[in-house]
Amino acid sequence: MQFLISILLNGLAVFLAARILDGVAVTGYVEAIIVGVILGLINTFIKPVITLLTLPITILTLGLFLLVINGVMVLLADALLQGFSVSGLGAAILFSILLAILNYFLGFLKK
């Protein structure tokens, strides 16, 4: 049950972040839930490999390159899904930052 609540709250965070930002669009709440699940899968399986491969540049930029990696993961989700669109890398980076903030505050609802 806790897992289902996490998925629904993550979908809500995606939906709210898409409503707040101009460069991000999601067609509905069901699509937002699907985006949340796809982003979770991408962050679980693909992001660690990319992070490891780009470790030298991440160290040189004192970790700021991780924001670019997060943006690229959002763009990958955009390429995989029809009901979700992001206008560019800048919007994707802002979306990932806003999504992290919203997930932090919505996490208090799980407790």
Place of tokens 């903030």: 101
CA distance 70 to 76: 10
pLDDT confidence of residue 107? 87
Q: Is the pTM of this model over 0.95?
A: no
Instruction: Count Cβ atoms below 10 Å from residue 16 Cβ, excluding itself.
Output: 15
Closest by CA to 10, choosing from 32, 25, 43, 41, is 32
Q: Per-10-residue mean pLDDT for the chain, 111 residues long? A: 90 96 96 95 96 97 97 97 96 97 90 69
CB 78 within 8 A of CB 86: yes
Element (H, E) at 56: helix 55-60
